Chain A
């Protein structure tokens, strides 16, 4: 059996060191060695996107990258999206728009959507769909996901920035959601 390798990478902003066998994928390393179980296994062939993480700014399927290849790389997973005080606006919008049903595909979608919005502040519906085409969802039919990403883009573009810290209660309805409500941090009944 090949010896384990020591790998150094920056994961969600933290300098991290881990041990792994060469045959372990980055996905296995994240989930089984680093307890970052937010990235999910759906197919192991790069066809569903549930394992999508961001490596050096690019979205990729962590099931198709070896853990040892992470050496020196900067990696972001869904666990790194929110800050202690607030959710990322994408996370907030997914919640408001009910863009998740079972939620297993959500981390992957958030990663792909984040990369999109990092590069394109005013994506059209077609551009959003293209950017998310590598992420499969079986529950939602994608409708509310596309709406959430559109809304998040608009919110970011209008400069109201972050989402609130996952407030429960009667959030804005999908049809009524505006960035104004964000600014005021109101609970809309």
Chain B
């Protein structure tokens, strides 16, 4: 590895200052499960590694039914699924966090790091898309909120400008009769990067027979994680039956533009998108029906 300088700022301001000063020569460090690999491979060669794990706002999980969720960007996955509120109110996001890599990876990897790495296959991103999360970004010029589905712009690239730091995710509190789910396909049972990932959140009407609202997020079927807008909208106001689910699945397939690579063929990914969309919607609907977020 090339020689690096390690900085460990204690506040957002300090971190932003470091990132702004060094620009391309600085890179934030959360769990290191992507960055350290990239540093070793020489893919990234920043002079400064800025450890943001000691900044309070990036490490907190705060939930209330009034405010919803504020999830720090540097919270490791293990703290997400150890958190009772996360498991109860956002089980889809929680299970995404529990699927990344292995337990060892989950002790370190963070949702923020996962997103900022800009991989279209990041597991937690579709789950956040399904939850309509917003990203709070702080930079030398101030703060801005970025809808999660707009955050990644190309493989490995995000909207972050030099000096900007992703601080936290803000997620609305779950509506009554709503719930989320995340499923992904991998060839083994653990360790693999998603070949396809689907996150879905559904809100059911009072009778539990219709979907009043849905959001579907997709991983690994395009150059960025995808908000399957048409598929999501197609479910609004529909009865829950094979036909409406199938239509959503077909639209989800159409929302993606998968490629052939060593994890799967485009043909395979299209097929799996359909399979997982059906399965994920079913799971989210089942959870919404049992009303776990309402109790």
Chain A interface residues (CB < 8 Å from chain B) = 1-2, 5, 21-23, 25, 44-47, 49, 52, 55, 58-61, 63-66, 68-69, 112, 115, 130-131, 133-135
Contacts and interface: CB of A to CB of B under 8 A. Distances in A.
B241 interface: no
B49 A46 contact: no
The A contact surface, by secondary structure, is mixed
B104 A23 contact: no
Contacts of B32: 64-66, 69
11 contacts: A1-B3, A2-B3, A46-B105, A49-B102, A64-B32, A64-B105, A68-B6, A112-B103, A115-B103, A134-B101, A135-B102
A46 B40 contact: no
A66 B6 CA distance: 9
A45 B37 contact: yes
B103 A134 contact: yes
Interface of B: 1-6, 29, 31-33, 36-37, 39-40, 49, 51, 53, 78, 101-105, 107-108, 189-191
Given A46-B101, A112-B104, A133-B102, A22 B191 contact: no
A1 B191 CA distance: 35
Contact of B103 (A21, A59, A64): A59
Nearest to A5: B6
Nearest to A130: B190
B54 to A, nearest CB: 10
Nearest to B39: A23
Given A1-B3, A133-B191, A134-B191, A49 B36 contact: no
Contacts of B40: 44
B268 to A, nearest CB: 23
A73 B107 CA distance: 14
Contacts of B6: 2, 5, 22, 66, 68
B37 A64 contact: yes
B4 A61 contact: no
A39 to B, nearest CB: 12
B78 A58 contact: yes
3 residue pairs, one from A and one from B, having the closest CB atoms: A134-B102, A133-B190, A22-B6
Nearest to B40: A44
A64 B113 CA distance: 14
A135 B102 CA distance: 8
A134 B2 CA distance: 28
Given A55-B107, A64-B32, A133-B191, 11 more contacts: A21-B3, A22-B5, A23-B2, A23-B3, A23-B39, A44-B40, A59-B107, A61-B105, A65-B108, A134-B103, A135-B102
Contacts of A66: 6, 29, 32, 36, 49
Contact of B104 (A2, A5, A46, A69): A46
Given A44-B40, A65-B32, A130-B190, A60 B107 contact: yes
B191 A47 contact: yes
Contacts of A21: 3
Contact of B105 (A2, A5, A23, A134): A134
Nearest to B2: A23
